[in-house]
Structure 1
């Protein structure tokens, strides 16, 4: 059956100041690594058995109805403002309406240079493509709002990074690719008509009940607070929370130097370029507030009374701290089997985290072990755990079904960094079995899977991956 993607491209109908239209650059020998047929079905895409899948999702063949473009935006990167960024190695093929009636972007990542490549080659090598495929699909299975992976294709070409590496293209699906950086672009340039048009487009697509920028800011702040609290409850570190990697939809986007913690450390950093810990695990709550302050600043020109807007926007952004704490409390209380937490539960959670930190306990295993009889074995000082456990047991005695809540709040399986790196190394050598095995197991992260028990193991000292890279 011929592949059919029912495109309905709204972003492409925006003025030329929003994007540059161009075609992906063909590759020499596209070969399909993975095709997410289940996701394709939800997107109303038919013809999953089309032999042209590889050339289509490598960029060699433009499917009917597509209108490829690279978006332009600005952004704060590690605190410094870059007045023009944009899709330097990605093209938005177009949009579809999914089974739920929601509009979804389909984007090629690694499809060649664009006007925004900033002297880059516009390509992706195999490692980051496979990492984003595995981690984004794992995040979806974990229940986290995220972009999805529709396809991964080898290009048959070599990409030069620190050494020659095999090239690849990822097809990414998102609620949209509208970023804080989009608003920063037009606001910083004084392009108020375009800023208003972007606001209208964003509201229509994501927040149809919203009537003004104040309401939009509040809703985006709420979604981002919930998202970051969920990241933290899973030990996830994004790695590059720049404003150009921060979506208005509230989805996780751009899985570059990301990772899940093994040993719990609030100061853990994985990004090789984050030398000062700006995007460390515990710093993520502060950074998302900072990012929302940049969105607020960008929205100010749309307000008729800008002095009053500064006051109201400041109140919204400052209020994020309380929202984040409530979301954090809810997520972490659930991990301990507490369904309706009160502020008094905060110290119980905090003391368990300190216990993990002091004893170098594995974040995922320690929480999951609370469902078993060997939780104390995860701590170098079991007596310290025993003292904490007494208070915890007393607290959850009043809960209806704490075990069921804990089982759906504490995954057994996460995409551990050392397994990701081992999978990439094998794939570079032509062996994709570990990639497919990871995807299969991680699609059921909360289930006990005895046959995959090896994937729960934390890294041995020689397997620890101290840093990850974005791949550009």
Structure 2
């Protein structure tokens, strides 16, 4: 059994709607994350049992749980949505791991809530498998992220552009509080609500801060998000929907919808089918993050200082810290990828020169950096001499191969492989999904038996667009 605590449920009632999941007809366990369950101190025997399956499917509420749907707001592609919330998810409660860490346990795809906005509240198999694969890969890359504890099928169909098998993801995280959660209460001019949420988020994510320290909290979120997005850039990850309701105040990657990893590098690369103007392109992610953080700062102004002019001045000063923080994090990520323990302007220029040449030569992002280790990087360039010209300066710096091996994954969740895994799973074959998950558990290791998962797509395999699961 699980021992639940429910600190979010002890917040004022206007923070959520308490409700049960909508039962499903024939749940079946597709994948249980045994390693994560052990880290959380959970009984895998229970989770794999009939009672555990009933919980993971939303068919039963375990003792001590208080299921609820959280309310929040957000800017979606720059447009204000005053009331969003968990439209297809329920927070069962939280558990405390052996190390004292708190874990929210949430069912995603568990049926309609008051925040579903006419949606069915369900998820189909494809997005559930995509989020499982990508979020667990990000964890293996040591990129802060929500995690996937389990995936179950529901035995029911979900209607999107056609009928698909339904599924539910059990997602866990240190919380599910977003910038949009603060925006919701700010838009209501609910200062007491902002204050209660602030103290909850400080307790959960930044316990070294004093309760009520809004400016300290803002600075901590800025630093965490600068680190997060620098790590995204280092693995060629494009979130796809960096709306403020998808921006986590603890600095986690959250809400894997139309996300993707780049094959051929280009800073303006977009995959999301709904991002028509490149707002959330790869190279735009740091800039849009500043915009999101400015919305958080605006929400916190009443708590930063009673004098609004002073509050604005302090918030603006905090936001100006993002640039240096991001630059430092970016340097750490990309210097390591080149095997350089540290550096200055010369090394920054070296990285930028390589990226420019990669974009001009349609070089695969992951295979180029991995190829710096094994001598195959030049094979990724349409004009190999473009790499050779760059490599002479890099080699002169005596790069550290060990540092590079720890910074450059050999395997990423290739978009075409994910699409194949989903297609095969819909047809009843989960073997590719399980293999991808297994390989990506140790993505920095050489795994020659699975080299097909490492390869870039050929022309007919290219995935040009990815989609939300709603």
Distance in 2 (CA, whole Å) between partners of 1:12 and 1:376 is 55
| Residues 187 and 301, structure 1, Cα contact 8 Å, conserved in 2 | no
Map of 2:461 onto structure 1: 463
- Secondary structure of the equivalent of 1:406? helix
Find out whether 1:244 has 2:241 as its counterpart: no
Counterpart of 2:404 in structure 1 is 406
Say if 2:24 and 2:156, in contact at 8 Å, map to a contact too. Answer: yes
Query: 2: CA distance between counterparts of 1:26 and 1:57?
Result: 11
2:172 maps to what in 1? 173
Aligned to 1:367: 369
Q: Distance in 2 between matches of 1:183 and 1:360?
A: 41
What does residue 221 of structure 1 align with?
222
Alignment of 1:127-166 (within 5 A): 127-166=126-165
Show the counterpart of 2:204: 205
TM-score (norm 2): 0.98
Runs of at least 5 residues in structure 1 that lack an aligned partner in the other structure = none
Q: Quick check: 1:37 aligned with 2:34?
A: yes
In 1: Cα distance, 2:446 partner to 2:278 partner? 35
**What is the CA–CA distance in structure 2 between the aligned matches of 1:186 and 1:13, rounded to whole Å?**
17
Match of 2:426 in 1: 428
Match of 2:278 in 1: 277
Using the alignment, how far apart are the partners of 2:410 and 2:404 within structure 1? Answer: 11
Matches within 5 A, 1:2-21: 4-21=1-18
1:339 alignment counterpart: 341
Matched, 1:358 2:357: no
Bigger mean CA offset, 267-276 vs 300-309: 300-309
Cα 1:127–1:240 shift into 2, 3 Å: same
Conserved? CA contact 2:230–2:326, under 8 Å: yes
3-state secondary structure, aligned to 1:408? helix
Kindly state the Cα deviation for residue 54 of structure 1 after the two structures are TM-superposed: 2.5
Deviations 1:233-263 (A, max 9, x none): 1000000000000111111000000000000
Deviation of residue 49 (structure 1)? 4.1
Question: What TM-score do you get using the length of structure 1 for normalisation?
Answer: 0.97
CA offsets per residue over residues 287-323 of structure 1, 9 Å max, x none?
Answer: 1111000000000011222211101111111221121
| 1:59-104 C-alpha deviation (Å, 9 max, x unpaired) | 0111111110000001011011111100000000000111221111
Question: 2:368·2:376 contact (CA, 8 Å) conserved in 1?
Answer: no
Q: Paired residue for 1:53?
A: 52
Query: What is the CA distance between 1:382 and its match in structure 2?
Result: 1.5
Partner SS for 1:283:
helix
Shift of 1:341: 2.2
**Quick check: 2:261–2:412 contact (8 Å CA) kept in 1?**
yes
- 1:80 matched to 2:79? The reply is yes
User: Can you list the C-alpha shifts for 1:182-204, whole angstroms capped at 9, x where unaligned?
Assistant: 11011111111111111111111
1:390 to 385, 389, 392: 392
Q: Could you tell me which runs of 5 or more consecutive residues in structure 2 were left unpaired when the two chains were aligned.
A: none
Provide the rounded CA distance (Å) in 1 between the counterparts of 2:132 and 2:151.
7
CA shift, 1:276, in A, is 0.4
Q: CA deviation at 1:51?
A: 3.0
Alpha-carbon separation, structure 2, partners of 1:181 and 1:137: 24
Count of equivalent residues: 465
Aligned equivalents of 1:417, 1:207: Cα separation in 2: 35
CA RMSD in angstroms, aligned pairs only: 1.0
Per mean C-alpha deviation after superposition, the further-off stretch among 321-330 and 74-83 is 321-330
Q: Are residues 1:330 and 2:332 paired?
A: yes
Matching residue of 2:265: 264
SS of the aligned residue for 2:362 comes to coil
Distance 1:167 1:330 in 2: 42
Structure 1 position 108 matched with structure 2 position 107: yes
Q: Distance in 1 between matches of 2:198 and 2:47?
A: 36
